[in-house]
Structure 1
Amino acid sequence: MITLKLPDADLDGDLVIPDDPAGMVLFAHGSGSSRHSPRNRAVAEGLNAAGIGTLLLDLLTEQEEQVDRVTAELRFDIELLTLRLIGAIDALAEGLESAPHTAGLRIGLFGASARAAAALAAAAARPVVGAVVSRGGRPDLAGPSLPRVQAPVLLIVGGADPEVLRLNEQARQHLDVAELHIVSGATHLFEEPGALTEVTTQAAEWFNRHLDHGI
């Protein structure tokens, strides 16, 4: 476990860096989830196996999580979550540059559910981000940030999640470089057999394509 010290919070995370990594992916977990989310941990393990480093990070402090479990007031606070992600990107980039074996690595973002919007807004604010993947995300919540995203974006949506699919199709029109991948028969949490494996495969291919050793 590592702790990123941001101006307004200390955030705990789990960092894995494979040998000769192709890039580093920072996870923005879905609403109400933490770095212990079994879905995101499964995706992270798949990325690690594909040679990509991962940082599973809690965007809320333990105290904030306790409040959010009762009120649900922070899980959709896109502004707060975006600021936390921007701080994490800056801290991660500084840390990567300080070590010879990670200097020059590009950073990718993997966002799920509403926090995919925070990932997109953070990517718009930090061009150092080289790629973004959204899993069952709500990119529409990123609002005016969408046209400012320079990083290539992969939108992964379940075919049996019609409302989110519609919102992703609309959001794609406002993104500069974006692809939409539909996982046939999958619902919002991708709990169907093989669905999460397909998400992981698509994400790994996207990050390996767009992240490399040079900025």
Structure 2
Amino acid sequence: MATLLFDLLTDDEEDDRANVFDISLLADRLAGVVSWLDAQPSLARFPLGLFGASTGAAAALVAAAKFPRRVRAVVSRGGRPDLAGDFLDEVRAPTLLVVGGADVGVIELNEEALARLQGLKALEIIPGASHLFPEPGALEAVIEHAARWFEHYLGAGSEKSAPGIGTENERKGS
């Protein structure tokens, strides 16, 4: 597995908080990344998963809806998937929503988004974790869940179903 980490906004753009919530702008930038990956002969054949945090999670879901044959898995960490709006109904990629157990309000927004997702989906709640997962072991738990999700849906033999990996409407605390 390989990863590519990038910011969807420039430093100057981040100074304007409206840009952080401009899901259309963020999703367009992410769509540009997907298109760039597909234009790279050495990368285009690999399965693609998207990981988004906060409003980046909504952008990842919009991109998954726009590229249903390309995006094979999505993970949202402490995200605002609700901001993907009507695109939620179009996402077919297996989607894992990971939320901190102490992130009151965001849990409910993730539950509402989970209900709208049409494909395989799961909600993992990390007990005692807040929005940015700074608590000891919280970010490690997110990493474990995300790695397992991507390994299952993007790894060799990912077309098969494995026990213990997010089933539809699953909600867990771990």
Q: Do the structures match in fold with TM over 0.5?
A: yes
Under a length normalisation based on structure 2, what TM-score does the superposition of the two structures give?
A: 0.85
Corresponding position of 1:94: 39
> Once the two structures are superposed, what CA deviation does each residue of 1:58-93 show, in whole Å capped at 9, x if it has no partner?
2123xxx21431x31211110011011011011112
> Once the two structures are superposed, what CA deviation does each residue of 1:159-212 show, in whole Å capped at 9, x if it has no partner?
001200000011100001210000010000000000000000000000000013
Corresponding position of 2:93: 151
Corresponding position of 1:192: 135
Q: What is the aligned-residue identity percentage?
A: 53
Q: Secondary structure at the match of 1:133?
A: strand
**2:44, 2:20 → 1: CA distance?**
33
Corresponding position of 2:6: 57
Residue in structure 2 matching 1:79, options 24, 47, 56: 24
Q: CA deviation at 1:103?
A: 5.3
Residue in structure 2 matching 1:108, options 28, 37, 49: 49
Under a length normalisation based on structure 1, what TM-score does the superposition of the two structures give?
A: 0.69
- Which residue identity is paired with 2:5? L
Taking the TM superposition and a 5 Å limit, the aligned residue runs for 1:119-134 are 119-127=60-68, 128-134=70-76
Residue in structure 1 matching 2:78, options 121, 136, 143: 136
Q: Which runs of 4+ in 1 moved over 6 A?
A: none
Corresponding position of 1:174: 116
Instruction: State the number of aligned residues.
Output: 156
**2:133, 2:49 → 1: CA distance?**
21
Q: Which has a greater percent of strand?
A: 1
Which runs of no fewer than 5 residues in structure 2 stay unpaired? Answer: 160-174
CA contact (8 A) 2:97 2:124 kept: yes
**1:108, 1:190 → 2: CA distance?**
22
Change (3 A) 1:192 1:147: same
CA contact (8 A) 1:158 1:183 kept: yes
Higher relative contact order (CA 8 A, sep 6+): 1
CA contact (8 A) 1:136 1:156 kept: yes
- Which residue identity is paired with 1:114? T
Corresponding position of 2:58: 117
